[in-house]
Structure 1
Amino acid sequence: MTQTAIPYLFMRGGTSRGPYMNRADLPEDLETLAEVLIAIVGSGHALNIDGIGGGAAVTTKVAMLSPSDDPWADVDYFFAQVSVEDRLVDFKPTCGNILTGVGPAAIEMGLVAALEGETPVNIRAVNTGAKVAAVVQTPIGEVSYEGDAEIDGVPGTSAPIALQFMETVGGVTGAFLPTGNLVDVIDGIEVTCMDVAMPIVIAKAESFGLSGTESAAELDENTEFFTCMEALRLKAGALMGMGDVSTSVTPKFGLLAPAQGSGTITTRYFMPWKTHPTMAVTGAQCLASCVLTPGTVAAGLANIPNEVPANVTLEHASGTIDVLVDYAQNDAGFEVKSAGLVRTARKLAAGAVFIPASIWAGH
């Protein structure tokens, strides 16, 4: 055989898309695994023409599932971000949008038994250690993808998947504020470096001469901004204890501006070398936490909800996303307890994806 067949589900999770696979069907060592994922996605070409990637960072993501040995969790979710063109694989971050599809995929793969009505699936995000409780619609004992839930950035409606994120603080850096400061000044620009679900360097849009309402395409064309942002991100990564982040997609970058509509605040999120067309689920949690924390760069930009838990509506490039944040504010400071969101997912295809046997011959 000149090619190796690997079973997979092809799914949309939130506003991202990619293959979902059983970790047992893949090589154990990360070096070989990276080469396999590069071949699957087709990284190395702008259109991923020799793989199943979609030529964008939101369509070159991979979910790998396995039974969990954590007493709380039903399934472990191991995530990989594969670059579109650079043949790089980053195993450091997680992805909340792709995580949306983990519950349905786990049931489809037989890793979790479906119940009548709704099926709870407890997920451990291996990359960061976060715990996420998902509720999947299974009205007749199988996953339903039909429903009335809408999310901006995806056409039509689908069945709602409720997600409750727990233990997300400091998953990558070990600290809520990795630099120890609410605000740092890097290259003359005030930033808040925060690690909630995803480490992000957060700044005001006006600090870069931007309104924060620019479209994703307009921002992607602004090479001067991206050059300035990347230089700042690299320095912030070092200050956050993350070392050299020049080839890592973390920390991500976010911009804040006053809300233009009925939302809490306007946001733009970067992946980090392109503008996210909507908003990452993990990024949304961190940005919402920044909004709620007194003394950050968000101060004065948002109308802070005064209820707990607080619903924070982030206006993004394609609409809005709501994050329900349960938190405490006391003498010890700001504490994020959990964050809840409702997303959707859909199974698009199932079968086997093929890679050259010269890369990996299989088990």
Structure 2
Amino acid sequence: MKRFLFLLSYLTAISLITAFILYGIITPKPVGEKVVEIKYGTPVPEIAEILEREGVINSRYLFLILHAFLRGKLEAGEYEFKGNLSLYEVYKILEEGRARLYKIVVKEGDDLFDIAKNLEKNKICKAKDFLRYAFSEEVVKRYNLDVPSMEGFLFPDTYYFSKNTHPLKVIDVMYKNFLEKTENLRKHLEEKNLSLEVWVTIASMVEKETFLKEEKPLIAAVIYNRLRRGMKLQIDPTVIYVAKRRGLWRGRLLKRFFYIDDPYNTYLYFGLPPGPISNPGLDSLKASLFPAKVDYLYFVADRYGRKHYFARTYVEHLRNMRRARR
């Protein structure tokens, strides 16, 4: 009989504790407008402490008990809480990543350094963290790409991210967008005998050389023609990219940059650079697939950078250079 009473008392105590926990988890709590920022990498106990301190939940311990059962992945970000919210509802908001979103615009021709600066400016993630992952061999291998970085494969577009989004998530969203937007174009790679990496690398140089849609197939043609003839490409934007890689870029193309020994320097090395030098848009990607049928080998921009003059011979190119300076 004593054993039965002890068991009954034990079960009653367990039931009461369980009821207390459930009551604490599902009972709504009035929350005035609260904005809480959770940085990526923040451990769950610290998240619970932040929420309790900000008055979003009553007990960090109940939050941790709920997490022990649900084992959800809580997303970093900037969250806005208001109204009557139960602890369970708060947990689900973090688990589903329902954070405030901020607009990020990646322009055609932006490189990884431009994107990193933009992300940090908008507090999405730190520039150095983004660049570390974007230049990581392991990250590149994850997407089965044969290039040194994710350069070229983060599609120019408008994105919406929450503050403190992990750089890997940013990269994943932008790369998947690249795959989606280029699906129809990629179908032509086999018939053109082009690898994905070569195609995007050429498109990235076209993108940096001209913003005029009608000039892009002509620029692409010059690149292919020079490659076939075994000529150095001598693309100025590759030298700018070298300067950026070395932390030397201050907005001006200096003469000494042309002599930096770097595989991306197409004034020193023959053939294509190891990978793309920017993230090209659809017009440049199309031009890289379907270059103009011309035999131009040279081009030079006018003094205002508005258009290019094209030439078949070096003598003609010299005349265009004098013309461009006028």
Give the TM-score band, short-chain normalised: under 0.3
The two structures have a TM-score, normalised by structure 2, of: 0.22
Higher relative contact order (CA 8 A, sep 6+): 1
The two structures have a TM-score, normalised by structure 1, of: 0.20
- Kindly indicate which of the two structures has a greater share of residues assigned to helix: 2
